[in-house]
Structures are given as structure tokens and as C-alpha cells.
Amino acid sequence: MEEVDGEPKSQAPGEVGESEIVTEDAAFVRGEPPQDGDGPPKVDSEVEVLHEKVTKQIIKEGHGQKPSKYSTCFLHYRAWAESTRHKFDDTWLEQQPLEMVLGKEKKEMTGLAIGVSSMKAGEHALLHVGWELGYGKEGSFSFPNVSPMADLVYEVVLIGFDETKEGKARSDMTVEERIGAADRRKMDGNALFKEEKLEEAMQQYEMAIAYMGDDFMFQLFGKYRDMALAVKNPCHLNTAACLLKLKRYEEAIGQCSLVLGEDENNVKALFRRGKARAELGQTDAAREDFLKAGKFAPEDKSIGRELRLLAEHEKAVYKKQKEIYKGIFGPRPEPKQKKNWLIIFWQLLVSLVLGLFKRKRVKAE
């Protein structure tokens, strides 16, 4: 991808350039949906009946097509027992999306699979599943712990899916096949980024990273680990680029920090994290990132520019604070001079003597 202005020049292959990112301005999960306390979210949208035992309410619309049978779907979800509101599973906490092949799912996930098959990529939905299509009459007393005949509630985000033509499930792929599949997703994400389809681009990057979860990376050494990181790290950095544009700065910091955990001197990660921290007013931390990035890219003018912007911002904040304090406490009062009573006494005495002298002089005349 061609080099652009306004970005440190150490750009990894397949990374999105800075002119495509921001010009003014954890696991790989890019931000989990907020929870309403400990229970499922409250949703007011229309209830869609998918099956006698499965209903769906859309929280956020997705895009594109729906997965077909035998598609490999990647999703995040939370699951509760409906009556007790006991949460028994949460892939966001595990920081690992579920991989589900529709038509080959586990029996206890039949209802979840029916819901997922009705969703589009990027869709966020609430599913209600009857116990018959969940953990059944017996429930589960191992992990997860689900009581007998428990109706279920799922909060689901379908990250994306691979159609059957993609071939194999991740677990059946060789190392080269998994890295290749991830790289294709990364390139699809870059194409979407160029079209300013940021949410869709992030879904592709997250799909790419899903091929290279922690369990997979722990098994890699030498050239294979280098090959995987050459795809994985740019996906995190490009996700951070999207998040900067969307003003989701905390999440951008998380993505950059993941890269820095693997490569502590990565200039792009330091630069983008610095920009996110600066936007959040974390000026000391931002300056630290920019200064470190400058050590490894001393010729890059954009880093110096960001440091100057930080200094100007701090100066403006100081001036504003000074004016605020002045308005609160008012101008400093002039110090009162202490009265010298001895001088005042002599002044009075002299005045009396002069007065008496004048009177005597008048009488003599």
C-alpha cells in the first residue's frame, strides 16, 4: 500500500496509511456492548419469530447476506438462564469469539444456531431460546452450569462468516492455510477501509484475527510466528485506525497496546496510541509515546508536529486555568500600609503649636 503524508514511515505490509486514518486529530475484541447490570439488555425492537422456540430482536442492523448452511460463523455472545438471570457464558470475557459451523453445531446450541442463521454480518441481536433447543430437560452441571429446563437468552454479535467455499474450519487447517485465510480477510478489510466503511472493515480485521487466536499463536515458533504476526499486527493497527476515526479512543489504545506487547518499539502503534491518548487529555502518556516513536523514526516530521500540538494544547489549558482562577478569586488586593502612630502624634502636636503661635501673633498686633 502506498506511503502517505502525516504518518510515521515504518509501515508494515498490508497496513492502512495515515492519510486514510486521521489527519487532525484488548484481546482482539474491539469493544464489547455495554451491559445493563448483570442481566440481558432491554430491547424495544419488534420481536421476530424464527422458530416455535426461538425469537429475535435486533439491537443493531447488520449488512450484506445471511450465512447459509455449513457456513463457518464467528460470533461473540453472552448467555443467561431467563428465569434466574444467571449468566453462564460470555465470550467477550474470554476474548475469543465462538466459531460455529451451521448445521454442525453442538446439540445445546441448536437454538443459538437458528438465531445466527437469521443474522447478517455485524448484526447485534437478542435471542430467546426455549429449553428444548438449549440444554434440555437435564440441564448442565459441569461447564457451563445451566439448570434443568432453563429457557435461555443470548445477546449475540455476528462478526462475520465464511461460506462453505472457504473450505475447512480453523481447527482442520494447516498453519499456512490459517494465515492465508487471515490475510485474505485483512485485504478485504483494507478495501472496505478505503471506501470509508469502517465498521465493516473492522469486522474483517476481527475475522482475520480470529484465525490467529492465543491458542494458535502459542504453538508457533520461528518463521511461522513471524508470518502470523505479519498479518495479525497490521489488523490490530488498522482496527486502531478505524477507531481513531470513530473517536473511540480507549479501544484504539487497547488495539495498539496489543501490538506493543509483541513489538514494544512498533512506531505505528506508539504513534496511534499517542494520538488516542492525546485526544483523551492524557498528555504525559501521549508525549511518552511520541518521544519513543521519535527515537525509532527521527526523520518523521509528523511525530514532531504532534509533540508541538501537545505543547500548544498544554499552554492553552494553562492560560485558561489562569483566567478561571483569576475570575474566582479576583485581582490580588493591594497591601495596606500600616499606620505609624508616632508620626501622627507629632503631626498633631506641630499643628497645635503653630495654631497657638498664630493666635498670639494676632493679639500682639
Grid coordinates belonging to 93:
470475557
What pLDDT, on the 0 to 100 scale, is given for residue 170?
A: 75
Q: How confident is the model at residue 164 (pLDDT cuts 50, 70, 90)?
A: low
What's the pLDDT score for residue 332?
59
Residue 188's pLDDT is 92
Mean pLDDT to the nearest integer, 211-230: 87
Structure confidence at residue 361 (pLDDT): 62
pLDDT at 33 over 60: yes
Average pLDDT on 84-104 reads: 88
Residue 57 dihedral angles phi and psi, to the nearest 5°: -125, 130
Tell me: pLDDT of 97 over 60: yes
- The Cα 235–Cα 357 span in angstroms is 104
Total residues belonging to the chain? 365
Q: What is the model's pLDDT at position 36? A: 52
pLDDT tens string 272-325: 999 999 999 999 999 999 999 999 999 999 999 999 999 998 888 777 777 777
**Averaged pLDDT for residues 359-365:** 60
Confidence at residue 15, expressed as pLDDT on a 0 to 100 scale: 61
Residue 37 pLDDT: 61
Strands (E), the chain: 48-51, 54-60, 72-81, 86-90, 98-101, 124-129, 152-162
Q: Mean pLDDT throughout 217-233?
A: 90
Long-range contacts of 19-23 (CB under 8 A, 24+ apart): 20/193, 20/194, 20/241, 21/241, 21/244, 21/245, 21/272, 22/241, 22/244, 22/245, 22/275
pLDDT of residue 84: 93
What local confidence, expressed as pLDDT, does residue 11 receive? 53
pLDDT band at 4 (very low <50, low <70, confident <90, very high): very low
Q: How many CB atoms lie within 10 A of CB 111?
A: 26
Residue 100: other Cβ atoms inside 10 A = 24
Least confident of 102-106, 292-296, 327-331: 327-331
pLDDT at site 25 = 31
pTM: 0.68
Q: What integer pLDDT is reported at residue 6 of this predicted model?
A: 42
d(CA 360, CA 365): 9
Residue 50 has pLDDT above 60, yes or no: yes
Residue 362 pLDDT: 55
Residue 235, pLDDT > 80, answer yes
CB 164 within 8 A of CB 171: no
**Mean pLDDT on 15-31:** 39
The three-class DSSP label of residue 38 is coil
Calculated CA dihedral for residues 278, 281, 282, 284, nearest 10 degrees:
80
- Of 53-62, 94-103, 163-172, 333-342, the range with the highest mean pLDDT is 53-62
Higher pLDDT, 211 or 77: 77
Report which residue type is found at 36: D
Q: Is the pLDDT of residue 327 over 70?
A: no
What pLDDT does residue 255 have? 95
pLDDT of residue 194: 94
- Looking at residue 245, its pLDDT comes to 95
